[in-house]
A and B are shown apart, each in its own frame.
Chain A
Amino acid sequence: MATFSGNRGLQMEQPLIFEQGSPDRTAVDLPDVPAVGDRLGGLKRQQPVGLPGLSEPEVVRHYTRLSQKNYCIDSGLYPLGSCTMKHNPRLNEKLARLPGIGDLHPLQPVSTAQGALMIIDACARWLMALTGMPAVAMSPGAGAHGEFVGMAAIRAAHEDRGDARRRVLVPESAHGTNPATAVACGYAVEPIPANRRGRVDIGRLRAALAPDVAAIMVTNPNTCGLFETDILDIAAAAHDVGAYFYCDGANFNAIVGRVRPGDLGVDAMHINLHKTFSTPHGGGGPGSGPVVLSAALAPYAPVPYVVNEGDGLSLVEYAAASDGKPCGRIKGFHGQFGMFVRALAYMMSMGSDGLKQAATDAVINANYVMARLKDVMTPSFDGPCMHEALFDDRFLKGSEITTLDFAKALIDEGYHPMTVYFPLIVPGAMLIEPTETESRQSLDRFIDVMRALAARAVAGDAERFRNAPRFTPRRRLDETSAARHPVLRWRTPAVDRAAE
């Protein structure tokens, strides 16, 4: 039943900020502008921007109400497979904002920023030790950006030997960023199918490997939540034809502190600090994607990087100043420094013992979910999983309920859905990653809900699933009309009417 206001209890309707306020109002008091002549060369803005004006309490209320329409890891289990929604410690946020850290300017003299360079250097050393790799490029802005750097370094290394290679092999189960990155680095992508155990089909991989293959891009543990059992043979096969082994490190959190990718023959691997090392996802970013490199690729790392010249740390900011052969610069300034602070604080808090325990607990939690759901849902593969439990939609067969319906019904039960329809190699995939953040009690409650939903689905209550979610601020949204007739910004009602 509708209310007069549109509000329902604590669920508040909130207009767009442009539909509030008036242009003369402001939430920021500023001093009077001194009367000095302008030096704008006649290029002063003539038209208003069109922004609304609001007081501080109005703005605070606006964003507070918006925030209340979001699900988050602070409020509940967030089982998005492949995304790693683990707890974001608040100490990290505090430290990133300390005077002398948060307010540092990237172009202040390096003599006045030695502590900052030590933070970058320490973060780099932790990452190298945990991966067993001799070098790391710290500047990539996020995981996909790290992939770009790793593949750029690979291409630079081949080209340096006059070895023009054209193909990159990518398993079909890979994240979409892998093929997109290979193309961004000028390569043609060739998909490699998975075998029936959810691993790379090494026979097909070997058949596709040839001297024109620049690299293979393999995720390990893979996107099915499984460790690639043939990983050493895969690396050797790639190296045998002179190709490099790029490892997508999105799932490093399953093995951190226990397995060093350097021991698996990896030549390059990005690390999503916002996954494995607890920096917040922030509704879509910012991330940070340092990429560790083998000795063969290290000379091609991009600028900038930190060096120790005896009398303190300094930055190599330009290719000409480098004694290597950098693949270029890929981001302004020195990388996502604020994320290095948070990740380093997390690594120091956890220590090598804590990181190992976190990986172990993440794997225990996923296997516990798998063990307690496998009789009512359909696991895609046999055997223990790593940090993710993967199910497909066979258990829904005949129910007229899709994976999407099942996910939306979970929303009504107070949970964010698992990752759905990924990896692509599994029909109607449901990929559950509980992470080490969840207690046994929390998992038991989640499992009870999942079992109840599965039972209800099999019993044929399709209506309940198709109409879900019912209790959220908005119910299912019309994505088709959003894409057919994109409305990507607010316009004044007069402009909108004129457009119609």
Chain B
Amino acid sequence: MLCFTREHEWISVTDDEEGTVGITDYAQKQLGDVVFVELPEVGSRLLQGAQAAVVESVKAASEVYAPASGEVIAVNTALAEDPARVNTDAMGAGWFFKIRLDDPGELAGLLSEGDYREHVEALH
């Protein structure tokens, strides 16, 4: 299941309640060339809506918020060497971290792909 936040994060959740988190293609375009991603520590606990990561371009730094609460079980270490993956494949190889969800019910408050597309279009 793929969900979105109004702050331009996405979360892709598997049947066993693991979520992969990244920023949307719209967000990476707004940022420009990504030069650095600060990731959470594996094992740390995140609350929905709390700051989880920071993504930086040359001239801007943006916080990335946890779309759902849970424990961080993996981070995309490849971004340290190659942050450009966020630009080239934001929804795939440019993922940030994976969490084990505390409460899949939290996802109900997020946007569907269609709702997110409408949200982005309304910004213009």
Contacts and interface: CB of A to CB of B under 8 A. Distances in A.
Nearest to B82: A484
A405 B64 CA distance: 30
B4 to A, nearest CB: 26
A107 interface: no
A484 B35 CA distance: 5
B94 to A, nearest CB: 14
Contacts of A483: 35-36, 56, 58
Contacts of A480: 33, 35, 57-58
A103 interface: no
A484 B36 CA distance: 7
A395 B84 CA distance: 33
Nearest to B58: A479
B33 to A, nearest CB: 4
A350 B44 CA distance: 60
Nearest to B32: A480
A480 B33 CA distance: 7
B83 interface: yes
Contacts of B58: 479-480, 483
A483 B33 CA distance: 10
Contacts of B84: 484
A479 B58 CA distance: 7
Contacts of B33: 480, 484
Nearest to A404: B59
Nearest to B35: A483
Give the size category of B's interface with A: under 10
A476 to B, nearest CB: 12
Contacts of B36: 483-484
A67 to B, nearest CB: 27
Nearest to B56: A483
Contacts of A479: 58
Contacts of A484: 33, 35-36, 83-84
Interface in B59-89: 59, 83-84
A467 to B, nearest CB: 19
A77 B58 CA distance: 28
A98 B57 CA distance: 47
Contacts of B57: 480
A421 B84 CA distance: 24
B84 to A, nearest CB: 7
A484 B83 CA distance: 7
Contacts of B35: 480, 483-484
Q: Which of B36, B56, B58 has the most CB of A within 10 A?
A: B58
Contacts of B56: 483
Interface string A440-482: 0000000000000000000000000000000000000001100
B25 to A, nearest CB: 18
Interface string B23-48: 00000000001011000000000000
A484 B59 CA distance: 13
B90 to A, nearest CB: 16
A480 B84 CA distance: 10
A42 B28 CA distance: 56
Interface string A479-495: 11001100000000000
A126 to B, nearest CB: 39
A157 to B, nearest CB: 32
Nearest to A421: B59
A423 to B, nearest CB: 15
A397 to B, nearest CB: 14
A480 B58 CA distance: 6
B98 to A, nearest CB: 24
Contacts of B59: 421
Interface string A134-156: 00000000000000000000000
A250 to B, nearest CB: 21
B29 to A, nearest CB: 15
A479 B33 CA distance: 10
Contacts of A421: 59
Interface in A373-425: 421
A295 B29 CA distance: 51
A273 B84 CA distance: 42
Nearest to A480: B33
A479 B35 CA distance: 9
B63 to A, nearest CB: 14
7 contacts: A479-B58, A480-B33, A480-B58, A483-B35, A483-B36, A483-B56, A483-B58
Nearest 4 Cβ contacts at the A-B interface = A483-B35, A480-B33, A479-B58, A484-B35
Given A480-B33, A483-B35, A483-B36, 12 more contacts: A421-B59, A479-B58, A480-B35, A480-B57, A480-B58, A483-B56, A483-B58, A484-B33, A484-B35, A484-B36, A484-B83, A484-B84
